[in-house]
Amino acid sequence: MPRTVAPLAPKERVPRNRPDTRIEQGLRAQGYSPVAGVDEVGRGCLFGPVVAAAVILDPRHPVRGLNDSKRLDAESRRVLSGRIRERAIAVSLAAVDNAQIDRVNIYQASRLAMRAAVLGLDPAAAALVVDALSLDVAIPQKSIVKGDATSSSVAAASIVAKVERDRWMEEWDLVFPEYGLASNKGYGSPHHLAALEKHGPTPLHRMTFKPVAECACFGPEPDSRLPLPLGEPDGVAALSF
């Protein structure tokens, strides 16, 4: 069972104008060091994997301007992602592919991706700050609703994961240009939904998601130059950078 740590209750709401390091500082004061923030992106997408990141920020080398990735424009996210990777003690990325999402549901797939990201950290985290979910790891953790708007390390994880997933969408847009993936990033935009109705789903669409499941026809064949599944038997893969 995942362990939670005092004084915050699981899924406690902590109001903030911008994310900061108070939660991480509190955990370090209790003897937990290092502390990692964990988040995922792509839960609501119709196409592609869910991607998670775990980040251990270095208190000696802060990254200015961190925020929930959804509140930042694409260029700001790219700049901040580079700074996070340069200054963090550790960054780990993992993804769960669309086939596994269809097998286990998006909630469980998100937890699997986040768990894999945590287990990929080097050094390992002594405690976790997790956005909304609890993870099946033997590491003390705080589950914070809107953690990416509350905790700097969770915000950093959301930014790194978002930039990585968006990069994948831009690559897959070259393979499946009909769906507008470079612009909609796999979400159900009007263009994307219209393309699904016209062309049907690709092998990377999430077939259990209603707008995809409603398409009876089959979509275009994939380009063999890009790997479609993540190449792991369980559909979970650590990502290197």
3-state secondary structure of 32: coil
CATH 3.40.630.30 fits 3-164, yes or no: no
CA 218 to chain centre: 28
CA distance 50 to 82: 21
| Cα–Cα separations (whole angstroms), residue 127 to 24, 141, 193, 218, 231 | 9, 5, 41, 45, 30
What's the burial of 100, exposed, middle or buried (CB within 10 Å: 0-12/13-18/19+)? buried
Report domain extents, the chain. 3-164
CA distance 21 to 215: 46
Q: Give which of 150, 37, 146 is closest to 92, Cα–Cα.
A: 37
- Note down pLDDT in tens along the chain; length 241 residues: 555 554 444 455 555 578 999 999 999 999 999 999 999 999 999 999 999 999 999 999 999 999 999 999 999 999 999 999 999 999 999 999 999 999 999 999 999 999 999 999 999 999 999 999 999 999 999 999 999 999 999 999 999 999 999 999 999 999 999 999 999 999 999 999 999 999 999 999 999 999 999 885 665 665 544 444 454 556 677 665 4
For position 224, what pLDDT does the model report? Answer: 44
For position 215, what pLDDT does the model report? Answer: 82
Running DSSP on this structure, what letter comes out for residue 223? P
